[in-house]
Structure 1
Amino acid sequence: MARTVELLLDEALDAEVRRVWGVLEAAGLPSQALHPHETNRPHLTLGVANELVAGGEAELGRALRRLPVRLRLDGLVVFGGRRRTLAWLVTPSPALVDLHAGVAQALAAYAPAPSPQHLPGRWTPHVTLASRLEPQERAAALDALDGLRPAEGTTAAARSYDTATRTVVPLG
């Protein structure tokens, strides 16, 4: 069980990420396009914690007052162990780094055990394109996205996703 803090993308950037999801799907590869849940949409995760204690959502809202921020997606990265995740890297602009630091500070105060991989200095900002890639699919996915051009836009909003209830709550 976990609660996330996620940035949603503006309409044009969301559409571009979905287009890339479609390229992977059309190639017969795993893609976030195949994730059927109604809450599935392109996003950038700023933090994850087991839970938010009372006052946490309000404090996160204060940290998220810095929205919107510009985003640039540029380059691919593969995360994980044997079954890996393919993601589009987000260039960490000063505004995004400041926003992330504010969210991390709010989580440190209002969330027991925030995810260490999302702490400042360890966080790799990205938008997930595909998960659970088998080793042979990884190379095929990178080939399918060869020549992927950078994409730019802004954040549209923020939300928290609850993995236990599979629901979202708007933030900020």
Structure 2
Amino acid sequence: MVAALELYLDTTATRRLRTLWRALEAEGIPTLASLQDSKHRPHVSLAAASRLAPDEVVAALGDAPLGRGLALDMDFVGQFVGRVLWLGVTPTPALLDLHREAHERLAKGGIEVWEHYRPGRWVPHCTVSLRVPNPLMGPAVRRCLEILPLRATVTGASVTDHANDIAHPLPG
């Protein structure tokens, strides 16, 4: 199971990413569009863990700004071990400050997150696929490059855990 603190993107960026997902799916490359009954939406995760209780996250974050209005530039394609394909978000000072503050508040609230999402280790990204078939990785990367660069604006945030039907929008 994966629970995450997700940042959501403006309508134009979301449409472009969903178009990318559909194009990849048509080529036999599974994306977040077909994962967990299509519950996913394009996002950038600030934190992830096996479990995140929405009420605890809300209490820990308090009045912290969650990036609304923050511009995100996706300028490159990346891959994590395990055939995970993503669009890289340029790590601007504003994004890194938002990330650090969120993690400081989560830690003070006793909320543990996965190590690779913590400040200093986190790679800002927008996941495209969690399981690209090896022979299709090259075509998938080329398809992703077709939509770059992509500028997005953060419009909201949520604690999500699709396996447990949790999608809890955060205030602010």
- Bin for the TM-score computed over the shorter chain: 0.7 to 0.9
Say if 1:61 and 1:67 are closer, same or farther in 2 by CA, change over 3 A: farther
1:1-172, aligned counterparts within 5 Å? 1-35=1-35, 37=37, 39-49=39-49, 50-52=51-53, 55-81=56-82, 84-172=83-171
Residue identity matched to 2:95: L
Say if 1:55 and 1:128 are closer, same or farther in 2 by CA, change over 3 A: closer
Deviates more, 1:11-20 or 1:140-149: 140-149
Superposition CA RMSD, Å = 2.2
Q: Could you tell me how far 1:152 is from its partner in structure 2?
A: 0.6
Residue identity matched to 1:153: A
Say if 1:7 and 1:54 are closer, same or farther in 2 by CA, change over 3 A: closer
Secondary structure of the 1:132 match is coil
| Cα distance in 1, alignment partners of residues 17 and 32 from structure 2 | 10
Count of aligned pairs between the two proteins: 170
- Residues 124-154 of structure 1 show CA distances to partners (whole Å, capped at 9, x for unaligned) of 1111111112221212312333444201120
TM-score when normalising by structure 2 = 0.87
| Cα distance in 1, alignment partners of residues 104 and 86 from structure 2 | 25
Q: Could you tell me how far 1:55 is from its partner in structure 2?
A: 4.8
Say if 1:8 and 1:54 are closer, same or farther in 2 by CA, change over 3 A: closer
Identity across aligned pairs (percent)?
Answer: 32
Native 8 Å contact 2:66 2:157 kept in 1: no
What runs of 5+ residues in structure 1 fail to find an aligned partner? none
